Amino acid sequence: MNETTGGIEDDEGSGIVKKFMFVNRKAPYGTIYALEGLEVVLISAAFDQDVSMAFLDDGVYQLVKGQHTKALAVKNFSPTYRALEGYDIEKLYVERESLEMRGLNADDLLVPVEVLSSAAMGDLMKTQDVVIGF
């Protein structure tokens, strides 16, 4: 979709700050979406935009503590979510219903997050300039 690239390129150097929300809805290792999404978010930090991440559905599994991938021989990228703060990406939102459906709560997650109801999440999405899903 054109909003993904258009937003970034148009703003480079112009000083305009847009609100970007990256919506993560996939579990971490079954597909490449979560890792690719995380890399895009890290790169987006270089553009000085207002970046947030939302975790819904299986996306909440990305943040679960205690991931050990050694036996799978794939990279455990869960510690990287703790680096986001250093990249000035501090707005991490998690949908409460997604957590509850999976028997999880905020204490099971490896980074501090803001837990929002579905309605509050929907309201927040509406206020974004660009919403990109992974």
83 is an interface residue for other proteins by CB under 8 A: yes
Contact call for residues 24 and 118 (beta carbons, < 8 A): no
Give the nearest distance from C-beta 43 to other proteins in angstroms.
5
Name the one residue in this structure whose structure tokens are 């949908």: 95
User: Shortest CA distance to 11 belongs to which of 50, 40, 37?
Assistant: 50
- x/- site string to other proteins, residues 15 to 54, per CB under 8 A? --------x-xx------x-----x--xx-xx--------
User: Shortest CA distance to 32 belongs to which of 74, 71, 67?
Assistant: 74
Query: Interface residues for other proteins in 101-130 (CB under 8 A)?
Result: 117-119, 121-123, 125-126, 128-130
* Residue count (the chain): 134
The alpha carbon of 4 is separated from its chain's Cα centroid by a whole number of angstroms, namely 15
3 is an interface residue for other proteins by CB under 8 A: yes
Distance (Å, rounded) from C-alpha 132 to C-alpha 134?
A: 7
Instruction: Kindly list the residues in this chain that would bind other proteins in the complex (CB under 8 A).
Output: 1, 3, 23, 25-26, 33, 39, 42-43, 45-46, 56-57, 75-77, 79-80, 82-83, 86-87, 95, 97-98, 117-119, 121-123, 125-126, 128-131, 133-134
